[in-house]
A and B are shown apart, each in its own frame.
Chain A
Amino acid sequence: MSVTDEELLLASRADADRFGELFDRHFATIYRYLHRRVGSDLADELGAETFVRAFQHRDSYDPQRAPVRAWLFGIATNLVRRHHRSEHRRLAAYAKAPFDRFQDEGTAAIDTRVSADALSATLGCSLATMRSQDRDVLLLIAWADLTYAEVAAALGTPIGTVRSRLARARQHIRRDLPDVNDWSAENPTPAAGGTKGTVLHG
C-alpha cells in the first residue's frame, strides 16, 4: 500500500530525507500553478522556496486542517502575494498575447481575431483589478484544480468565505466581460455587446 502525503510529511519530522519524496510528487504541479501566475523566472524561484518553507514549517502542519497538496498550494499562494508586481506583469503579458486558443488558425476571420484579442486584454485587466483575495480563490480553482474545500484549507478560511470570494470574482469578470458566457471554442465572437477592449499596461 502506498504511503499517503500526510504520512510522508509526518514521517519527515523524524527522518528529514523523506521530505524529498513529497518534492518528487508535487513539485511539477506546484510549478505549473506558479508558472501560470508569475511566469517562468519567478516560478523557478518560488517553486523551490515553496518546498523549503514547507520543510521548515513541517512541524506546524496539521493533517486535520488541510491535505498536504492544499497546504503546499497555500504556501505557494502566500509567496505569490509578495510578488504582486510580477503577477501583474504576467497578467499584462497574457493580455497582450493573441488569444489563439479560441480560433482555428487557418480560418479565423480578422474581426474574430480582433475580438479575441480584445477579450484577452479585458480579461487580463479584470484579473489585475480584482481584489487579491478573490483572485487567489479563483485562480486556485481554475489553475490549480483545487476543490472548494481544498481552497478553504489552503487559505485557512471557512468554505463559505471561499464560495463568496469566488462569486465576487466571477461577478467582477462578468462585469468587465458581460457576454462571457457566449464565448466558446466554436463561437469565439460574442453574440452581442463585444468586449471593452481595455488595455492592461504592464
Chain B
Amino acid sequence: MAYLDVRGLAKSYVTRRGTTHVLGGVDLTVDEGEFVAVVGYSGSGKTTLVSLIAGLLVPDAGDIVLDGARVDAPGPERGIVFQQYSLLPWMTVYENVALAIDAVNAEKSAAERRAITEDLIRLVNLTPARDKRPGQLSGGMRQRVAVARGLGMAPKVLLMDEPFSALDALTRATLQDELTRIWGERRCTVILITNDVDEAILLADRIYPMTPGPGAVLGDAIEVALPRPRSRRHMSLSPAYQKARHGLVDFLRNARRGVA
C-alpha cells in the first residue's frame, strides 16, 4: 500500500435545489517524499478533494489511508495551505506561524519552539515582516506565511489548494521558484492542487488530471521525467516537458468533450 492511499472517494452536496455530485470515485496514491499535483478545470471539485483528504469534510464513500492509519478527522499530520491563505488577521506573521508550531510541538520547550518558528519564517524569506499583520502584507507575502504555517505542522503530507491562484503572474512565478527551493530543502510529501498545467509540471513528480465535474474522477497519473533542479526557462524546450504537457492537455480537452 502506498504512503497515502485514496480509494473510491465520492462526495455529493445536497442543497435545496437538488443533489450535486462533485466527486464520483477518486483514486489517488502518493509515495513518501513524493510531490504529486492534481490538475483540473476550475469548479471541477479540486477543493472538495483537498477538504476530504484534510478531514474537514466527510466523504459519502471511499477510504483515505495515510501511513497505515485511516483518516476520519482533521489533524496537523495533513498540513494544509488554503487557497484564501486563511491567516488569522489579528495575529502577526510570527504568531500565525507559532500557532501551528506550538500546536504540534507541545512537548518541546518554549525556546525550541521559538527557534523552529524563526527558522520557518527565514525559510520563506519573511524575517523582516515577522511582526506585521496579514493586512499589511501583499498577497505573495501572505501566501508565504501560509506555506510556513503549513510546513510548521510538520505534516506527513502537505496539502496545497491552488496556493498561487490568487496571485499575479510575476509573484506566482517567484513563489513557484521558492516552493521548488523549499521542497528541495525539506523533501516533504506534497499534494498540490492547481489549474495551471505548467505549474504542475514545474513542481511535481507525477500529475493526476481531473475530469470536469459533476462526478469528477482522476485520470491515470502522468510522470514528469524532468531532472531536478528544474528551471522554468529551459524546461519548455525539453522533450520530457512536451510529453507531459501534451498528455495532460489532451486528457483535459477530451474529458471536457466527454470522450475520456
Whether both chains belong to one complex is answered with no
A residues at B contact (CB < 8 Å): none
B residues at A contact (CB < 8 Å): none
